[in-house]
Chains A and B, each alone.
Chain A
Amino acid sequence: MAFTSEITRGMIINFNNEPHVLIAKEFYSPGKGGAFTRTKLKNIKTGKILNHVFKSGEKLDQLDIETKTMQFLYADENDSYFMDPETFEQLTISLDMIDGGTDFLHTEGKYIIIIYQGEAISVQMPAKIALIVNETSDAVKGNTSGNATKEAILETGAKVYVPLFIKTGERVVINTETRQYVSK
Chain B
Amino acid sequence: MANWKELKNDPTKWDKIFIKESIIKTIRKHFEAKNYHELESPILAPSLPQERYLDVIPVNITDKKGNINIAYLIPSTERYNKIALSAGIGNHFVITKVFRGLEEFGPNHTAEFTMLEWYELGHNYFDLMATTEKLFKEIKQDINAKFHLGDSLEIIYDGKKISLEGEFPKISIRNALKDFSGINLEEIQDIEDFRKVAKEKGYSEVEEYDWQTIFELIFANDIEPNLPEDKPCFVYDYPVQLCPLTKTNAKDPLVAEKVEIYLAGKEVGNGYTELTDGVEQEKRFKIEQQARKDLGKPEVAFDYEMVEAMKSGMPEVAGIGIGLDRLAMIFADAQNIREVNIN
A residues near B, CB below 8 A? Answer: 5, 16, 26-36, 38, 51-53, 55-56, 58, 142-149, 161, 163, 165, 175, 178-180, 183-184
Given A34-B53, A36-B217, A55-B209: A147 and B333 within 8 A (CB)? yes
Q: Is B54 an interface residue (CB 8 A)?
A: yes
Known: A29-B53, A179-B159. 17 other contacts (CB 8 A): A27-B104, A29-B109, A31-B51, A32-B216, A33-B215, A33-B242, A34-B213, A34-B216, A35-B102, A36-B217, A38-B220, A56-B104, A144-B12, A146-B19, A147-B19, A147-B331, A180-B335
Q: Is B190 an interface residue (CB 8 A)?
A: no
- Taking each of A31, A58, A175, A178, which has the highest tally of chain B beta carbons within 10 Å of its own beta carbon? A31
Residues of A within 8 A of B102 (CB): 27, 29, 35
Residues of B within 8 A of A38 (CB): 220
A146, B267: Cβ atoms closer than 8 Å: no
Task: Report the bound CA distance from A80 to B18 in whole Å.
Answer: 43
Task: Report the bound CA distance from A173 to B67 in whole Å.
Answer: 53
**What residue of chain A has the Cβ atom nearest to residue B334's Cβ?**
A146
Residue pairs across A and B with Cβ atoms less than 8 A apart, 25 shown, are A26-B106, A27-B104, A27-B106, A29-B55, A31-B51, A31-B53, A33-B215, A34-B53, A34-B212, A36-B216, A51-B225, A56-B103, A56-B104, A142-B148, A144-B12, A145-B147, A146-B12, A146-B147, A147-B15, A147-B19, A147-B156, A147-B333, A148-B147, A148-B149, A180-B335
A58, B16: Cβ atoms closer than 8 Å: no
Contact of B103 among A35, A147, A183 (CB under 8 A): A35
- Taking each of B105, B149, B158, B220, which has the highest tally of chain A beta carbons within 10 Å of its own beta carbon? B220
B residues near A, CB below 8 A? Answer: 6, 9-10, 12-16, 18-19, 51, 53-55, 100, 102-109, 143, 147-149, 156, 158-159, 202, 205, 209-210, 212-217, 220-221, 225, 242, 267, 331-333, 335
Residues of B within 8 A of A161 (CB): 159
B216, A146: Cβ atoms closer than 8 Å: no
Residues of B within 8 A of A178 (CB): 158, 335
Residues of B within 8 A of A142 (CB): 148
Given A146-B12, A180-B335: A52 and B221 within 8 A (CB)? yes
A55, B148: Cβ atoms closer than 8 Å: no
B51, A183: Cβ atoms closer than 8 Å: no
Residues of A within 8 A of B10 (CB): 163, 183-184
Task: Report the bound CA distance from A130 to B111 in whole Å.
Answer: 32
Residues of A within 8 A of B205 (CB): 55, 58
Given A29-B55, A183-B9: A147 and B149 within 8 A (CB)? yes
Q: Nearest Cβ in chain A — how far from B312, in angstroms?
A: 28
Task: Report the bound CA distance from A58 to B214 in whole Å.
Answer: 13
Q: Across chains A and B, which 9 residue pairs bring their CB atoms closest together, nearest first? A: A146-B15, A33-B216, A145-B147, A53-B220, A27-B104, A33-B212, A33-B213, A146-B16, A178-B335
Contact of A163 among B12, B18, B147 (CB under 8 A): B12
Contact of B217 among A26, A51, A55, A143 (CB under 8 A): A55
Residues of B within 8 A of A179 (CB): 159
